[in-house]
Amino acid sequence: GTNIQVSVWNRSPNRCPQLPANVSRASTAEAACKSADIVLLMLSNANATNAVLQTVDHRTMSDVLAIVNLNSASSVEAKELEEAYGTYAYISGVMLADPSGLINGQCPMYLGGPEDVFDLARPVLEFLGTSMLVGSTADVPVIYDQAIVSSLLAYMHAISVGDALIRSAGLPVGPFASFMDALDVRPFGKRLLEVHETQKYESTDGEFSTNLVADFYKHG
């Protein structure tokens, strides 16, 4: 139900061998940007993003209404990219969920940059999920993302400790999981039970906490 035309380019073409009928494949990154109103960048990191953007003629970039960069970068890297390309209509952000959420349009995103660029990009971002402008510079979304991940790590570790205490006493974890659900931090009890039924738990080391955080992003 939309007239939006989409052109895509991937550094590894075999990653997207088949495309929907209404999506065209560009031969180069610059070809994908030409005649585009909105350019959406989703590369693995800041170095990859910078390398790709350097292959695009600056006149092509100047004609774009909004350039939206969603990648995994540190706050320093995000600022460096902003300084390099901020003369264009540039905005940067982070995805607060597993990228699989993009498939069904349920990916929350935090963006940082000029409000007018965000408003121009919003119709495209709405196809991916929910977006929020949290600051006027590119490093702000990254700082929020780091704060969220740090909080989740602490939360998951605390749950792991509580779970270990209960299991070491030979008690079922069900009542504990139900109570954590009742706190309404997120519906975590069911996932806690599923994870612990499939993984033997003997310690509260960081590796297990990391697994839980990955599980949170996958199912959260």
Write out the E strands in the chain. 6-8, 23-25, 38-41, 66-70, 90-95, 109-112, 131-135
CB 142 within 8 A of CB 94: yes
pTM of the predicted model as reported, rounded to 2 decimal places: 0.72
Handedness of CA 142, 144, 148, 154 (dihedral sign): positive
Among 15-29, 112-126, 167-181, name the most confident range.
Answer: 112-126
CB 98 within 8 A of CB 71: no
> Residue 87, class by beta-carbon neighbours within 10 Å (0-12 exposed, 13-18 middle, 19+ buried)?
exposed
Residue 41: pLDDT above 50? yes
Number of Cβ within a 10 Å radius of residue 123: 13
Distances (CA, A) of 127 to 24, 28, 122, 124, 209: 17, 24, 9, 6, 32
How do residues 132-169 score in pLDDT, each as one tens digit? 999 999 999 999 988 888 887 787 788 888 888 888 99
Residue 202: pLDDT above 90? no
How do residues 14-26 score in pLDDT, each as one tens digit? 777 788 888 888 9
Residue 69: pLDDT above 50? yes
| Strand 109-112 relative to strand 90-95, pairing | antiparallel
